[in-house]
Amino acid sequence: MAVHVVLYQPEIPANTGNIARTCAATGVPLHLIRPLGFSTDDKMLKRAGLDYWEFVDITYYDSLDDFFEKNNGNMYYLSKFGTQDHAKFDYSDTEQDHYFMFGKETTGLPKELIQANIDCCLRIPMNDHVRSLNLSNTAAILVYEALRQQGFPGLH
């Protein structure tokens, strides 16, 4: 699989459920880095994902280090402090894995991770009227942009 969604310590079950639904609809694996701000049995999480949980390829990790030890590929970090426009990157190489990492809804990704990877820190252009887009909307934008560049493999 060439596109992956990674959630670092997600806090809001409905966001994770909506992202899981996007992953189910596109065949994109979902990676969850603990601690989670909710139980995976949470009714809000299940309601947002509806009947699609069996179609989501989910992997859990105990820490950021655990995630990096088990995965490699092109890593992209989504942040309102990102310096790169998400649409200016080439995600078309289906031989490479492309990981889109999203941080906690309240505090984002660790500052040291952002600073160490500033050239791969993406942002979605928007005006100054809002602080940020909803996490699940942002994940959907990135997933579909990457899949569009790849010709929507396996989708119809």
pLDDT at 140: 97
Average model confidence (pLDDT) for the chain? 91
Task: Name the region of 12 (left: φ>0; alpha: ψ -120 to 50; beta: rest).
Answer: beta
Is residue 47 a contact partner of residue 79, using CB atoms and an 8 Å limit?
no
Q: Taking 90 as the threshold, does the pLDDT of residue 53 lie above it?
A: no
pLDDT digits (tens, 9 = 90+) for 56-70: 999 999 999 999 999
pLDDT band at 49 (very low <50, low <70, confident <90, very high): low
pLDDT at 109: 96
Closest of 59, 60, 68 to residue 116, by C-alpha: 68
pLDDT band at 77 (very low <50, low <70, confident <90, very high): very high
pLDDT band at 42 (very low <50, low <70, confident <90, very high): low
Residue 53, burial from CB neighbour count under 10 angstroms (0-12, 13-18, 19+): middle
Q: Which two tokens stand for residue 102?
A: 């999203």
Between strands 98-102 and 74-78, the pairing is parallel
**Strand ranges, E, within the chain:** 3-8, 30-33, 58-61, 74-78, 84-85, 98-102, 121-123
Measured CA distances, 64 to 9, 67, 93, 111, 132 (Å) = 9, 5, 25, 13, 23
The number of beta carbons lying within 10 Å of the beta carbon of residue 132 is 15
C-alpha 146/C-alpha 142 separation (Å) is: 6
Q: 20 Cβ partners below 8 Å, 6+ apart?
A: 30, 45, 48, 49, 52, 53, 56, 58
Q: Of 46-55, 77-86, 88-97, which gets the smallest average pLDDT?
A: 46-55
